[in-house]
Structures are given as structure tokens and as C-alpha cells.
Amino acid sequence: MRYILAVDIGGTQLRAAVYPIDEPIAIKVERIPSHAPEETVLERLVSLARHLWPPDGSVDAIGVSVAGPTDPRRGLVMTTPNIKEWTDFPLADRLQEQLGPPVYLGNDANLAALAEWQFGAGRGHHNLLYLTISTGIGGGVIVDDRLLLGEHGLAAELGHVVVDSSRSAPICGCGFRGHLEAFSSGTAIERYVATELAAGKSSSLAGRPSAKQIAEAAREGDRLAIKAFRRAGTYLGIGVANYLHIFNPSCILLGGGVSRSGSLLREPFEASLREHVFHPSYLDDLTIAYAELGDDAGLLGAFALARMRLSLEPL
Amino acid sequence: MRYILAVDIGGTQLRAAVYPIDEPIAIKVERIPSHAPEETVLERLVSLARHLWPPDGSVDAIGVSVAGPTDPRRGLVMTTPNIKEWTDFPLADRLQEQLGPPVYLGNDANLAALAEWQFGAGRGHHNLLYLTISTGIGGGVIVDDRLLLGEHGLAAELGHVVVDSSRSAPICGCGFRGHLEAFSSGTAIERYVATELAAGKSSSLAGRPSAKQIAEAAREGDRLAIKAFRRAGTYLGIGVANYLHIFNPSCILLGGGVSRSGSLLREPFEASLREHVFHPSYLDDLTIAYAELGDDAGLLGAFALARMRLSLEPL
């Protein structure tokens, strides 16, 4: 049997899975905390991989999904949350030295887009936009059946575009002002509500509620909570309208925790999208759907990446 | 000999040229007004093509560059300035019926990007962004050696993205508010100056000066005129920073009349670009240059398109 080993690296946990090369159904999956005393993350990752290694066959390639910016052409992790020692870190080379097979890596949101396109809600589309909306906003784009990477793999940072350049626009997690993420991420929703509460707005909420608590309050009719999701959805519609004009995709997929708030975000998002699209043709045959693969998107994307690179399919 | 016939359709004039299939040097070029009494634009175009038809060889394909949105996969002109009868018009089919060879068409800014990439200032790059800044703002993008078209050929409308969603943002030529074109096009510069003059701002200018007159006044030190270009350049920097985050290109090309204002636009543009890029890696090895092909970009892009489609190269 021939296998692909897929790895999903997050700041708090490492996940790995073994897939037969011809189907996206893992025969083994395991997760461990990213950090432990007296062990580097790399050491933990190598042990996890060896632990999962299939005894009855060969691993043809290893795919790695990493939170944060990567350089997939050179196999570098540029930065990744909570793993300080991985700055411009040649992860692909280090893993290959220790494990043997070729290693291919990519950004988690990019690879989630790849996975949704190959195995999930985006199957059959040739031009697809994927947005994951959780604490931040990440993106991935399929252009004419290929993953958009850009010159150094830094493309598709869809949360980090200015949608409001006024001086009063909120600050993004990246430190810059007016980015889509600063309006429509879970963090942005939380910050908006906290600011309004501090300014004395009446609400069933108090203090610094989480996005989940705000969603619950909204479902119970809290006007501030509803307004917070409406604002996030409105800006998301502006951002996605921009992306329709830029990419003209046939499919938009929404993933991440905040997208699971259902109509709270989705209704104002779709209303704003329709309002901001500058020609109705962009909405012709446009599918808008939720991502399907959930937590498995990273592993499946790493699997898809490794398999495509192995077969020399263009990314 | 084998030839490609290239056509460039504008609202006021039709241009056509004959190229040998193996080099981008026209052996014949001609231009005529788009409109004349008792003749349709299509009839004029067909006569122009027949007039240029090489007597000593065959035309393998016809490439057509059209101002305005097109559907290159179906050969449709959706709308084009000053030619009202061409609305969802099957131009490729009509021309092929009358002239014989296969006809391939595309949007003028897209094809200008293709031409600059193949024959002009963008040679050797794999990921390129082209912006033409004149009365409006058009765009074209090369992603991994292919022209970005999107599902229906409507991608790369780089002037029609919201960069300022505040209610006070200016209205774009398309009728929507806060688009890049509403800040950084020649029309936007003119409108800004006219509004400031009407509000009583002191300037050597008066009434409704043209972008060219404003550029002249700026070169002579007029503060309002300088400010108008600074504002246009600043927003252009915001828009292009967004495009770096979205596409991570290695080359940005600026074309169109307003880009020829030199440092007036370019200095504030580059300062704003550096200020708004959220990670310095996006500027690594980034070439920023002026487009080289000028008025020939449309014809050369049509030539490149036809030749690529003929050889079944992926667009």
C-alpha cells in the first residue's frame, strides 16, 4: 500500500493522519498538544509521525498545514502562532531529513480551500473563494482549478485588505487599520460589543462577552448583539463583493466558528453582498455555502497538497 | 506565411493589425472611426479586416480587444462604451461567420496585461498586476503564467473595489460609492479639484480643469493640484497594498494617461503602498514599473490571446 502522511500544526495542538494515496479517508488520526516540557515542537512532531507510520507500506509524501504565513515553494514557515522558534523556519527540509519522504507545506486557510474544493462543499467548481471567519479571517482561492499562491506563497490574505480607509476605522489584529478582519472576525464582534457596553449601551450582555455569548444574546433578541453581527455581516458583504469583482468565482464558501452563527451573520452578509456587487452578472450561478469539512479541512488539505505535488499536478 | 489579425475596439475608433504568427511586429496597422453614417460598427469592422487581409497567406485566428466587460469563454461583448447595439452581443460568432477564422476576444485591460507580460515591461514575471489609470481604472492579472479571467471572464475589475466604505466616500463612475476608481482615476482627480474650487479653495486653477491641466498646475507648485494627486496616489497605494495581500505578485505595472504624470502620482502612491503593506515580505523583489506598450497594448494583447488560444496554451 502507498500512503500520504498529513499533518496539521496549530499553536496548541498537532494533528496527524495517514491516508491511502487514492482516497481521502484516514486510516489513523492522532492529536497531541504542540508543547511539552523538555521537547521541541519539531521533536514532538517527528515522534507523532513515527508513531503513526504505517507498518505495512510506504509513505510517498508528507503534507503539512500550518497556521500563519508560509513559503510553500521553499518549504518555510515564516511565523506561526505560539511557536516562537519557528520564524523563517525550514520545516519541510527538517522533516524530510528526519522522516525521509518529500514534505510539502502550506498555509492552513489555503489548504482548507484546497480540501473543500477537492473533497467538500466546493467540488465541481473551477473558481472558488473560501473564507474562514473565526478569531481572525483567513482565505484561500482556487483560480481555474489551481490554488492561488502568489510569488512567495503569500497570496489570498483575504482578511487583511482595507475596506474602510477612514481614520476612525478599527485596528486589525495585524496592527493595521480598517482591514476586513477588524470588522467581521469574532474578535472584531467582541471588541465592538465591549466598546459599546463601555459607552453605556443597554444590553443583556455585560463586560467582555465572547462571540459565542454575543450570538446567544442575539438569538434571544438582544439589540446590541444583533447589531454587532449585522455590522460584521455588512462589512463581510463589502469585502466579498470586492472579491467577486477581483476573482469572479462561481462559489463562495464560509467556514470557521463565526460562520456557524447561521442567519445572524449570513442574512446581513448576503444583503450587503447584493447591495455592493456592481453588476448583477457576478451573482449569476453563484453558489454561497458553508464549508463542510470542519476540523478535518487542514489534514485533508495537507493530504491533497502532497498528493498533487507528488503527481506533478500544477498547484 | 501564417498570420494573426488583431483588432482593438474603442468607443471612438477601431484599430486593426496583421502580425506574422511568430513575432509581435505588425506588418500592417490601420485605424478608422468606430462610427459612420449608414454603416453598423460590425460592418465597418468587417471591411477593415478585409482591407487588411494578407493576400499572401492565411489568417489562423483573430484576436479582439474590447473596452468594457466581455465573456471571453462565450465570445460575448456585454457592454462597451459608445456602441449601444453591442449589449450581450456575440461578437466572436458574428466575426467568425463573416471572416472565417476562429475569433477570440477579451477585455482591453486584461489583454493589455497579457501584452505587457509577454512583450512589454512584465516579461519574465510569473505573477503580475497591471493597472491602467486614465478616465477610469482597469486591471489585468497574471497568476502563475495565466491570465486571470474568472468564471465568466469578469475578474480583475481592479478599479471597482471599495477602499472606503464611509458614507462620505465619493461616487464611482459605475454608480457605487467608495471604489478605488472614485479616488484615483483622472475623473476622480478632476472632480476633487472642481469641488474644492467650488468651495472656494485658492488655486491657480479655475472652473473644471482637466487632469492634464491639474498635472501642469501641480508641476508649477499649485498646492490644490499637488494635493489632488497626493490624494489619488494615497488611495492607489491602499488599493495596491490590498492587491499585494491578495495576489502576492512580483511585478506591478502602471499604465494609462494618469500614470504618465510621473512623480506627482508615483511618490505618494509608493509611500502609501509601503505604509499599508502589512508585512514587508510583500515588497521583497517587487518590481514597480510603467507599462511600455502604450496604445499598442490592445492590439498586442489581442495578438497574444489569439496565438495562445490557437496553440491551446491555457489562458
pLDDT tens for each residue of A247-281: 999 999 999 999 999 999 999 999 999 999 999 99
What CATH number is attached to the domain comprising B95?
3.30.420.40
pTM of the model: 0.95
All cell numbers assigned to B290:
510603467
User: Is the pLDDT assigned to residue B15 strictly greater than 80?
Assistant: yes
Looking at the fold, whether B98 and B138 belong to one and the same domain comes out as no
User: Is the pLDDT assigned to residue B314 strictly greater than 80?
Assistant: no
Amino acid at A67: A
Looking at the fold, whether B146 and B84 belong to one and the same domain comes out as no
Distance from CA of A96 to the nearest CA of B (A): 25
**Best of B78, B129, B152, B245 to mutate (most A CBs within 10 Å, chain A):** B245
The reported pLDDT for the residue numbered A98 is 97
- A194 by Cβ neighbours in 10 Å (0-12 / 13-18 / 19+) ranks as middle
Asked if residue B118 belongs to a domain, the reply is no
User: Is the pLDDT assigned to residue B291 strictly greater than 70?
Assistant: yes
Looking at the fold, whether B184 and B216 belong to one and the same domain comes out as yes
Q: Distance (Å, rounded) from C-alpha B286 to C-alpha B248?
A: 9
| Cβ separation A152–B245 shorter than 8 A | no
pLDDT in tens, A159-213: 999 999 999 999 998 999 999 999 999 999 999 999 999 999 999 999 999 999 9
Active-site residue flag, B284: no
| Cβ separation A165–B238 shorter than 8 A | yes
Contacts of A207 (CB under 8 A, 6+ apart): A194, A197
Contacts of B287 (CB under 8 A, 6+ apart): B125, B250, B251, B252
Taken in order A48, A54, A58, A64, the sign of the CA dihedral is: negative
pLDDT in tens, B103-143: 999 999 999 999 999 999 999 999 999 999 999 999 999 99
Q: Nearest CA to B114 among B139, B80, B82, B83?
A: B139
Asked if residue A115 belongs to a domain, the reply is no
- B195 by Cβ neighbours in 10 Å (0-12 / 13-18 / 19+) ranks as exposed
Asked if residue B26 belongs to a domain, the reply is yes
- What average pLDDT does this structure show over A146-161? 96
Asked if residue A142 belongs to a domain, the reply is yes
Other beta carbons within 10 Å of B124: 9
Smallest CA–CA distance from B251 into chain A, residue: A151
The reported pLDDT for the residue numbered A142 is 98
Q: Give B48's pLDDT tier (boundaries 50, 70, 90).
A: very high
Q: Distance (Å, rounded) from C-alpha B157 to C-alpha B146?
A: 16
In the DSSP assignment, the letter for residue B291 is: -
The reported pLDDT for the residue numbered A1 is 85
Q: Nearest CA to B111 among B6, B236, B15, B237?
A: B6
Q: Distance (Å, rounded) from C-alpha B247 to C-alpha B241?
A: 10
Q: Nearest CA to A261 among A193, A191, A189?
A: A189
Looking at the fold, whether A201 and A241 belong to one and the same domain comes out as yes
Looking at the fold, whether B51 and B167 belong to one and the same domain comes out as no
Looking at the fold, whether A72 and A204 belong to one and the same domain comes out as no
User: Is the pLDDT assigned to residue A314 strictly greater than 60?
Assistant: no
| Cβ separation B152–A284 shorter than 8 A | yes
When the pLDDT of each residue in chain A is averaged and rounded to a whole number, the result is: 95
From its phi and psi, is residue A48 left (phi > 0), alpha (psi between -120 and 50) or beta?
alpha
User: Is the pLDDT assigned to residue B167 strictly greater than 80?
Assistant: yes
What residue has cell string 488655486?
A: B203
The reported pLDDT for the residue numbered B313 is 58
Q: Give B312's pLDDT tier (boundaries 50, 70, 90).
A: low
Looking at the fold, whether B144 and B48 belong to one and the same domain comes out as no
- What average pLDDT does this structure show over A121-131? 98
pLDDT in tens, A38-62: 999 999 999 999 999 998 879 999 9
When the pLDDT of each residue in chain B is averaged and rounded to a whole number, the result is: 95
Asked if residue B117 belongs to a domain, the reply is no
Question: Which residues does chain B have within 8 Å of residue A154's beta carbon, measured at their own beta carbons?
Answer: 245, 248, 279, 281-282
From its phi and psi, is residue B312 left (phi > 0), alpha (psi between -120 and 50) or beta?
left
Catalytic residues of A: 108
Which domain covers residue B136, as residue numbers? Answer: 123-291
Count of H-run helices and E-run strands, chain B: 9, 12
- What average pLDDT does this structure show over B33-48? 95
**Partners of B132 in the β-ladder:** B138, B255
Looking at the fold, whether A103 and A57 belong to one and the same domain comes out as yes
Looking at the fold, whether B247 and B161 belong to one and the same domain comes out as yes
How many domains does chain B fold into? 2
Q: Nearest CA to B238 among B153, B180, B302, B314?
A: B180
Looking at the fold, whether A265 and A143 belong to one and the same domain comes out as yes
Question: Which residues does chain B have within 8 Å of residue A165's beta carbon, measured at their own beta carbons?
Answer: 163-164, 235, 238
Q: Distance (Å, rounded) from C-alpha A233 to C-alpha A37?
A: 42
Q: Distance (Å, rounded) from C-alpha A187 to C-alpha B300?
A: 48
| Cβ separation A279–B154 shorter than 8 A | yes
Looking at the fold, whether B194 and B262 belong to one and the same domain comes out as yes
Looking at the fold, whether A125 and A66 belong to one and the same domain comes out as no
| Cβ separation B154–A281 shorter than 8 A | yes
User: Is the pLDDT assigned to residue B226 strictly greater than 70?
Assistant: yes
In the DSSP assignment, the letter for residue B170 is: P
User: Is the pLDDT assigned to residue A11 strictly greater than 90?
Assistant: no
